[in-house]
Amino acid sequence: MKMYVKFDFNALCKKVLDEKLKEQGLRYRLLNFGEVEFYESFTKEQHNVFKKNLEEYGIEIIESQKIALVQKIKDAIAELVFSDETVSVKASIYIAERLNHSYGYLSNLFSEVTFTSIENFIILQKIEHAKGLIIGNKQSLTEIADKLNYSSVAHLSTQFKNTTGITPSQFHKIVAKRRKAQSLSLNF
């Protein structure tokens, strides 16, 4: 038997962070996603224990301000792309307003740290979301293109193929074949 699960990574990370902070008895408050304000200082040993506990979950403490800002850019992009509502504002405006910096500065910083552009990162996130929506099998390609702010299904298909090597329709057929094969194997 197979079950499909949808993750809310923000909620999951926040819960892990909250639990690990409480385990150490630290006084804190969670700010925006990925930000913690401490009400008291803590020892280097407490810092190292906390860091090790988070690493078990694939969460790391960001030591550099530049890397922290790049992570905020990624988080803002994820919020924009994976939002349940269709957001019609341009990504550049959304990111600049969300982080209170000029888009030019954020774009240059992102490229410097990640060796890719914000635009490429957005495309990758949109395609990952499109794959999840196709697997969910609840929306047509037209609805998916609309939800992800593509001007047309053709535009979505072109970016999907450029990123994955196959079209969304081919991806959908592969998913359908796998489901059929799995259901057949469960019947035996």
pLDDT score at 136: 87
Cα 160 to Cα 182: distance, rounded to the nearest angstrom: 25
Cα 68 to Cα 61: distance, rounded to the nearest angstrom: 9
CA–CA distance from 172 to each of 14, 26, 37, 131, 133 (Å)? Answer: 33, 48, 44, 9, 10
Instruction: Locate 40 and state its tokens.
Output: 């008291």
pLDDT score at 49: 84
Cα 16 to Cα 114: distance, rounded to the nearest angstrom: 26
pTM of the complete model beyond 0.95: no
Work out the mean pLDDT of the chain and round it to a whole number.
86
Rg, C-alpha atoms of the chain:
20
Q: What is the DSSP letter of 87?
A: P
Domain ranges (residues) in the chain: 10-60
Highest mean pLDDT among 21-35, 82-96, 160-174: 160-174
Instruction: Locate 39 and state its tokens.
Output: 């009400």
Query: Taking a C-beta distance cutoff of 8 angstroms, is the pair 144, 155 a contact?
Result: no
Q: Give me the helices (H) in 100-167, please.
A: 103-114, 118-136, 141-147, 153-164
Query: Taking a C-beta distance cutoff of 8 angstroms, is the pair 91, 77 a contact?
Result: yes
Instruction: Locate 14 and state its tokens.
Output: 């926040």
Residue 188 has pLDDT above 60, yes or no: no
pLDDT score at 127: 96
Residue 10 has pLDDT above 80, yes or no: no
**Greater confidence, 84 or 128?**
128
Region 27-34 average pLDDT: 75
